[in-house]
């Protein structure tokens, strides 16, 4: 699967963002990050140790420091030798010192689909949900990404009011970017480059030279733009989830990836600038997971949440294997990807006009009738091919020109050595007309093939075509240009690439948190792009991308809308509202499934598919306090001394439990529940506290959905909510009554007839990886 998504992603960009190996991602080129925790001590005293260490280093090595962090947290990034890094790590006040890592990107109609899927009706009270306030007016979404293309119509500030007074940021000038590039929509832009760096024109400007950041920004907060499409495909009104929100772009990525030191600087500036939401469609790859004190995203997100900023991150594209989700700290809202009800179909017509429904995006201009000879790659092996599998998989060099000239070639795609377009480009040079690629995942997630006659087909349809070839003297075919099939069912479906839980660090915390549209999303694109251009056409102003990168800004847009309606809500209240109102059914009114057809579990989709209106009026929320997160650090092995450096303030009587283990994480006041290491005939208890956010007094009743073999008891099973009792605590006991080898899933829903407040739960029989 990893090979598939890399193939898909690079077939879009052709040359951008090749996945680096673990060692390459960890290389720092001599740059180390020194993290020193909160900007004030737990007693609200200035941190003189930071000033002393920084001054001392700058005196010894004048140009060593490339970034300093002092707004939301303390630290710096600097050129250091390994010995210097080890020495500084022992200095008083330092939490950690680690090599500067290189992280990678996790890369219209989707909002209409989400609204159609939403089962919760929002109260039509004009004072709460009508007008521009429901569009996220005046909330500020900070985006850490590849930059932005300010001229896109999606970022017009027409009819927008003055910039919010809370904004303290700036619009940095740079190459082909001036202060006039910003407006009342795009209110801020910054960029971060190593001194003296030169990255193929991507440095020295907030301008997006890649497209990813522009796409993400317009998905989160783009204004409605009528008639948007990718060369006529998926035409409609492109809009963001929170079109009234303002955008602040922090370009932390270059063509080589996203430097950890730049990510931390982006967090530090965004905290001071006054953003409400931070959206990061980037992160480590599977196998690159780091514990909190050496993870730039976890560090920055913790201090942002301390300051009241909700942080939304993509969960990664390393599925469908388990334990692949990243950005899994409990203070982060972690997003998985799903499909929408739209299919990009490229039909294959065989002799006798038999039609096979292929997939992918192509604008091929060849005969519509099946007049081209069709061959299976394995039947045309060159004498130079080392094995039958090379010809079967259409490895470049497997054929001689006369074997493929004028023909359509049927190829398998099990080698993971070459991308689809690489295979076709080789065939095209030998005179081939087109290529059919047998791959379930390529069929499910449309790749962009430009003007090349290429279509992806499922293994089932591949077998049908092979049978046709073998039973016909002169097999022929053609490949039709792509059409969009609306109201496609079932949807949503979890694509294979979306990273899965359980969490790699502990099974006592459920990750990912939520799912959102992340497949074939149409959004804004740089106006001078050449990579997505189809032959004979101008640059596309809107483009199609897939990945958890695209899912993340959908949730960021919802979070901004909730924040605009409830400005006093904490990040955890907003997260809770999003999770407890999530959707679990598809457009067939059946449970959401994965691409393999199995029922999706919380390891696939967290609480479910994000709702656009449910979070606005959730009824009850779970407030996860900073104290809960600090206890989480205790449970995961941090000493009280180190925690005291990390936190801005500690409760007077705060202490780590004598016995700190990951199982205690289950008692964190989180809107989902995860139990680990439960044995047969054993029981475990967790405690949760809910807070009323609706003014009505009412009684909530618990509804339990539990699998066979697991007893789940909620005490009390009724909650009396009054204006004088805004917080109510309950206890859940889980008891395993029969032996099983599989993790168990269910939910607890509190309802008063008006609201349904649902928490998914996972019960794991082991705390070890499977």
Report the DSSP beta bridge partners of residue 235. Answer: none
Rounded Cα distance between 28 and 560, Å, is 35
Assess whether 69 and 134 both reside in one domain: no
Boundary (domain end) residue, out of 587, 616, 645: 616
* pLDDT score for 754: 93
**What's the number of CA atoms in the CB half-sphere (13 Å) around residue 365?**
4
pLDDT tens profile 79-130: 999 999 999 999 999 999 999 999 998 874 555 666 666 643 333 232 333 3
The answer to whether 192 and 121 have CB atoms below 8 angstroms apart is no
**What's the number of CA atoms in the CB half-sphere (13 Å) around residue 518?**
35
* pLDDT score for 397: 86
Assess whether 307 and 159 both reside in one domain: yes
β-pairing, 448-450 vs 361-362, is parallel
Assess whether 418 and 404 both reside in one domain: yes
* pLDDT score for 231: 94
Boundary (domain end) residue, out of 76, 99, 122: 99
Q: Which residues are catalytic?
A: 145, 212, 549
Assess whether 280 and 147 both reside in one domain: yes
State the angle between helix axes of 296-306 and 626-635 in degrees (0 to 180), rounded to the nearest 10: 150
Assess whether 571 and 547 both reside in one domain: yes
Assess whether 672 and 750 both reside in one domain: yes
What domain range is 674 assigned to? Answer: 621-763
* pLDDT score for 696: 77
Assess whether 528 and 609 both reside in one domain: yes
- Residue 130: strand, helix, or coil: coil
pTM for this one? 0.92
The answer to whether 246 and 221 have CB atoms below 8 angstroms apart is yes
404 phi and psi, to 5 degrees? -120, -10
Q: Which CATH number do you get for residue 58?
A: 3.30.70.80
The answer to whether 632 and 532 have CB atoms below 8 angstroms apart is no
Assess whether 109 and 225 both reside in one domain: yes
* pLDDT score for 119: 44
Q: Is residue 23 assigned to a domain? A: no
Strands (E), 132-179: 140-145
Say whether the peptide bond before residue 490 is cis (omega within 30 degrees of 0). yes
Rounded Cα distance between 444 and 399, Å, is 28
Q: What is the arrangement of strands in the sheet containing 277-280, beginning at the earlier edge strand?
A: 186-191, 246-251, 140-145, 277-280, 310-314, 333-338, 514-517
Q: How many domains does the chain have?
A: 4
The answer to whether 647 and 305 have CB atoms below 8 angstroms apart is no
Q: Is residue 12 assigned to a domain? A: no
* pLDDT score for 652: 78
Q: Is residue 361 assigned to a domain? A: yes
DSSP string, 336-359: EEE--SEEEEEEEEEGGG-EEEEE
Q: Is residue 58 assigned to a domain? A: yes
Name the nearest CA neighbour of 111 among 416, 460, 561, 417.
Answer: 561
CB atoms within 10 A of CB 524: 31
Boundary (domain end) residue, out of 559, 581, 616: 616
Q: Is residue 486 assigned to a domain? A: no
Q: Is residue 19 assigned to a domain? A: no
- What Rg do the C-alpha atoms of the chain give, in angstroms? 27
* pLDDT score for 113: 65
Assess whether 308 and 410 both reside in one domain: no
441 phi and psi, to 5 degrees? -70, -40
Q: Which CATH number do you get for residue 386?
A: 3.50.30.30
pLDDT tens profile 625-640: 999 999 999 988 888 9
DSSP 667: G
Assess whether 175 and 236 both reside in one domain: yes
Q: Is residue 548 assigned to a domain? A: yes
Please give the helix or strand (H or E) that residue 212 lies within, else none.
helix 212-221
Name the nearest CA neighbour of 575 among 305, 298, 274.
Answer: 305
Q: What is the arrangement of strands in the sheet containing 744-751, beginning at the earlier edge strand?
A: 673-675, 756-763, 744-751, 698-705, 718-721
Residues of the chain with pLDDT under 70: 1-29, 41-46, 108-134, 195-202, 286-289, 382-386, 660-662, 766-770
DSSP string, 712-754: EEEESSEEEEBTTB-EEEEEEEEEE-S--SS-EEEEEEEE-SS
* pLDDT score for 133: 36
Q: Is residue 651 assigned to a domain? A: yes
Taking the CA atoms of 10, 13, 19 and 20 in sequence, report the sign of the dihedral they define: positive
Rounded Cα distance between 643 and 627, Å, is 11
Assess whether 186 and 115 both reside in one domain: yes
* pLDDT score for 1: 38
Assess whether 748 and 632 both reside in one domain: yes
Rounded Cα distance between 118 and 105, Å, is 29
């Amino acid at each position: 699967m990893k090979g598939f998504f890399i193939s898909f992603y690079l077939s879009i960009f052709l040359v951008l963002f090749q996945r680096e190996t673990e060692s390459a991602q960890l290389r720092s080129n001599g740059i180390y990050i020194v993290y020193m925790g909160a900007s004030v001590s737990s007693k609200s005293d200035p941190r003189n140790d930071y000033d002393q260490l920084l001054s001392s280093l700058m005196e010894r090595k004048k140009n060593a420091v490339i970034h300093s962090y002092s707004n939301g947290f303390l630290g710096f990034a600097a050129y250091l030798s390994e010995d210097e890094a080890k020495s500084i790590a022992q200095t008083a006040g330092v939490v950690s010192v680690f090599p500067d890592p290189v992280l990678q990107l996790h890369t219209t109609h989707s909002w209409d689909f989400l609204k159609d899927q939403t089962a919760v009706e929002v109260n039509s009270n004009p004072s709460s949900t009508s007008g521009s306030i429901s569009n996220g007016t005046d909330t500020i979404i900070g985006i850490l990404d590849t930059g932005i293309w300010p001229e896109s119509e999606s970022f017009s500030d027409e009819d927008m009011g003055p910039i919010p007074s809370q904004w303290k940021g700036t619009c940095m000038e740079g190459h082909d970017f001036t202060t006039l590039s910003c407006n009342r929509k795009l209110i801020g832009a910054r960029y971060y480059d190593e001194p003296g760096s030169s990255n193929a024109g991507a440095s020295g400007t907030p301008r997006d030279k890649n497209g990813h950041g522009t796409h993400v920004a317009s998905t989160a907060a783009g204004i409605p733009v009528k008639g948007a499409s990718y060369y006529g495909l998926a035409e409609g009104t492109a809009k963001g989830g929170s079109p009234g929100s303002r955008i602040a772009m922090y370009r932390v990525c270059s063509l080589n990836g996203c430097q950890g030191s730049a990510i931390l600087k982006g967090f530090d500036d965004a905290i001071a600038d006054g953003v409400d939401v931070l959206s990061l469609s980037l992160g480590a790859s599977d196998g690159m997971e780091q514990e909190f004190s050496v993870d730039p995203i976890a560090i920055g997100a913790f201090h942002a949440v301390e300051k009241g900023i909700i942080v939304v991150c993509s969960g990664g594209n390393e599925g469908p294997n388990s334990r692949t989700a990243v950005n899994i700290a409990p203070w982060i809202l972690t997003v998985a990807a799903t499909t929408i009800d739209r299919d990009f179909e490229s039909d294959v017509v065989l002799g006798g006009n038999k039609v096979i429904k292929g997939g992918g995006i192509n604008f091929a201009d060849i005969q519509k009738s099946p007049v081209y000879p069709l061959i299976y790659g394995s039947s045309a092996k060159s004498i130079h091919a080392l094995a039958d599998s090379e010809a079967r998989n259409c490895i470049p060099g497997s054929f001689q020109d006369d074997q493929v000239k004028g023909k359509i070639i049927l190829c398998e795609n099990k080698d993971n050595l070459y991308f689809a377009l690489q295979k076709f480009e080789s065939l095209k040079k030998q005179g081939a007309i087109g290529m059919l690629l047998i791959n379930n995942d390529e069929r499910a997630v449309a790749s962009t093939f430009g003007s090349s006659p290429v279509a992806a087909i499922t293994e089932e349809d591949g077998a049908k075509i092979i049978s046709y070839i073998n039973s016909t003297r002169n097999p022929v075919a053609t490949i039709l240009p792509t059409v969009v099939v609306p109201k496609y069912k079932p949807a949503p479906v979890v694509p294979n690439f979306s990273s899965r839980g359980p969490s790699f660090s502990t099974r006592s915390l459920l990750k990912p948190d939520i799912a959102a549209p992340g497949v074939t999303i149409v959004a804004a694109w740089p106006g001078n792009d050449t990579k997505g251009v189809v032959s004979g056409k101008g640059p596309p102003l809107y483009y199609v991308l897939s990945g958890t990168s695209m899912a993340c800004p959908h949730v960021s847009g919802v979070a901004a809308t909730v924040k605009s309606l409830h400005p006093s809500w904490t990040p955890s209240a907003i997260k809770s509202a999003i999770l407890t109102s999530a959707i679990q059914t598809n457009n067939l009114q059946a449970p959401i499934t994965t691409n393999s057809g199995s029922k999706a579990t919380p390891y696939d989709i967290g609480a479910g598919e994000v709702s656009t209106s449910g979070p606005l009026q959730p009824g009850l929320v779970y407030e996860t306090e900073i104290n809960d997160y600090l206890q989480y650090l205790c449970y995961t092995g941090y000493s009280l001394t180190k925690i005291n450096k990390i936190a801005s303030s500690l409760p007077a009587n705060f202490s780590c439990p004598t016995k700190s283990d990951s199982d205690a994480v289950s008692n964190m006041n989180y809107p989902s529940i995860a139990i680990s290491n439960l044995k047969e005939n054993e029981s475990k208890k967790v405690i949760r506290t809910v807070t009323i956010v609706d003014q009505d007094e009412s009684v909530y009743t618990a509804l339990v959905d539990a699998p066979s073999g697991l007893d789940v008891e909620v005490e009390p099973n009724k909650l009396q909510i009054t204006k004088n009792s805004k917080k109510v605590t309950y206890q859940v006991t889980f008891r395993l009554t029969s032996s099983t080898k599989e993790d168990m899933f269910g939910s607890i829903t509190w309802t008063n007839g008006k609201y349904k407040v649902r928490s998914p739960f996972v019960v794991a029989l082991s705390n070890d990886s499977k």
